[in-house]
Amino acid sequence: MIKIELNKDMCDEIDKFVATMVKEVDFRPNFFDNSEERSPGEIQENAIEGKYAELGFYQYIQGTKYESNKINLDIYQRGKWDAGDFKITYRGTTYQVEIKSSSMKSRCLLLPCESMRLTSDNKVYFYDKNNCPDWVIGVRVDTKHRVVELAGKVTNKDLCHAIKNPETYCWRAGPKIPGTSISLKVDNYVWVFPNFKERVNKNSDRIVIQTQEFIDKRRN
């Protein structure tokens, strides 16, 4: 798990961007659960958390040999998505990276089952966009102190394996999120971050498979 202290000026810019976006965009109900509408405050909090997570990953990448695009601060209307969070390049190979943010209380990476689709060539795509991520990075975010932790990752191969093995990876709506007292509102594929594997599985009635460890590849 890698801790990143966020750049203050960039955080301020993100805060202003999110404030504008919340005013201009007609947001969907709460994630993939159409039964609840999010308040403007919840929408703003979720958006800041997501962009802080992206900023943390971007700052990390700047210390490595990878090349990367900058954070996307374009505004999309309801039902429209960008083509993914980051494209990073190393030695001529480009990787698509999706960032999945959560609060510092989170111990697991959760991906709604309906948010992904498996193609005939065993590739997993997200949402209704042409986004086939090579990696999904789980990032825990402390918005108050502007700190993030790169907690773990899964690859597209891991996603494919999860979809083909729902009895191991899929938690249905209703039961509690492993390691928490919060109930799942929709079906999710679930992995536990390596630092919390023993704690979560000690209190779960099912074994939660861990994500891959996020290895620090920054230059010394």
Domains of the chain, by residue range, sit at: 2-78+85-203
In this prediction, residue 77 carries a pLDDT of 44
136-166 residue pLDDT tens: 999 999 999 999 999 999 999 999 999 999 9
In this prediction, residue 36 carries a pLDDT of 60
In this prediction, residue 195 carries a pLDDT of 94
In this prediction, residue 176 carries a pLDDT of 83
Stretches where the chain sits below pLDDT 70 are: 24-38, 73-84, 127-130, 220
DSSP 1: -
The three state secondary structure string of 118-168 is ECCCCCEEECCCCECCCEEEEEEEECCCCEEEEEEEEEHHHHHHHHHCHHH
59-81 residue pLDDT tens: 999 999 999 888 876 544 444 44
pTM > 0.75: yes
In this prediction, residue 81 carries a pLDDT of 43
